Structure 1
Amino acid sequence: MKKQERQRYIKRLLSSKEIERQEDFVSLLHAENIEVTQATISRDIKDMQLVKVPSATGGYHYSLPVQKKMNTEKKLKRTLKDAYVSYATQDKFVLIKVLPGNGPALASLVEAMHYEHVFGTLGDDSTVLIICKSLDATLELQQTLQRLLSDN
């Protein structure tokens, strides 16, 4: 498995579980038939800039850095403010039109936000196609876009 795919699994695990130790990552990934070593997880933690934050139970668990997500959202808002033209939805798809040259950046920023409701994105020069996981997810993304556009 490629590093990028493995790190996507790690992010999914972090969104659903409080993981306290590197060995827990190894066990959970093995349960998904992903063979990794503790050393690989250690490098991933460093690469992803994961931090340990206090748990409700009194211990600590790994988390994505909050500041990174905030900066990403700020960049996403800025890109929408500067380049947004229009958007439309159909079923599980959201199509965003932007000024030429901004599609890849916007698609990348949407991916970097790790929205639970987004399955994936495709971005060309002036268009971004966002594929949602369900019809409800499409509505949720639409609300998120409206919020981001109105905050500008």
Structure 2
Amino acid sequence: MDEHGSQLYHPANRTARLSVIQEILTNSVVSSQAQLSQMLADQGIEVTQATLSRDLDEMKAVKTRLRTGEMAYTLGIEPEHDDETAEKIDQQLSRGLSSLVVSAAAARNLVVVHTPEGAAQYVASSLDKQSIDGILGIIAGDDTLLLVCADDDVANQRMQWLLDIVSSRRGGSGR
């Protein structure tokens, strides 16, 4: 289950497995392959140690000493998203997306975002690469993307957050 009580199901393929590994390493402190293997098994994904090793190597996951002194697998950023890290991510998104979001509107648990023609896939990909609380998934067309949020309140918060990011208005990271 995700943090909102929704059960997530993953197909039994390599792409889904890599996505789940990325999600786990981004949001959790994982100190061993055995621990990661168990976390995958808890989500219904069985994997051999050799396959897991190859996956981690392909993803360029490395064991890093965290600020806490603990050794854990990371994907280039520590899994602990403090306010400073969230602010840096927000600034990067602001630079990359500021001219690409034309409008945004919340409708129940959804956020509809309009972009210039051909930009929706790029915007969706940029947002997908971040671990944004409350967003269950993003669907993109040519000039429109749809953020599926956990609930109505999250949709309103994410819409305002996105508008703040692309408008370069600061006021906390909102993550």
- Regarding TM over 0.5, the answer is yes
Rounded to whole Å, the distance in 1 between the matches of 2:162 and 2:142 is 20
State the Cα distance separating 1:6 from its structure 2 match.
1.1
Tell me the distance in 1 between the aligned counterparts of 2:37 and 2:48: 6
SS of the counterpart of 2:73?
A: strand
Cα RMSD between the aligned structures? Answer: 2.6
**Structure 1 residues not aligned, in runs of 5+:** none
Could you say which residue in structure 1 is the equivalent of 2:130? 113
The answer to whether the 8 A contact 2:100-2:123 is kept is no
- Structure 2, unaligned stretches of length 5 or more? 1-11, 79-84, 170-175
Cα distance change on mapping 1:79 and 1:63 into 2, 3 Å: same
> Aligned pair count?
150
SS in 1 for 2:44: coil
Please tell me whether the aligned partners of residues 99 and 166 of structure 2 are also in contact (alpha carbons under 8 angstroms).
no
Q: Percent identity?
A: 27
Deviation at 1:48, TM superposition (A): 2.1
After superposition, give the CA deviation of every residue in 1:78-108 in whole Å (9 maximum; x if it has no partner).
4422222111111111011111010111111
Contact 2:98 2:168 in 1 (8 A): no
List aligned pairs for 1:1-152, cutoff 5 A.
1-55=12-66, 58-66=69-77, 74=92, 76-151=93-168
1:151–1:118 distance in 2 versus 1, CA, 3 Å: same
Letter in 2 for 1:6: R
Letter in structure 1 aligned against 2:73: Y
Structure with the largest fraction of strand: 1
Q: Which runs of 4+ in 1 moved over 3 A?
A: 55-58, 69-73
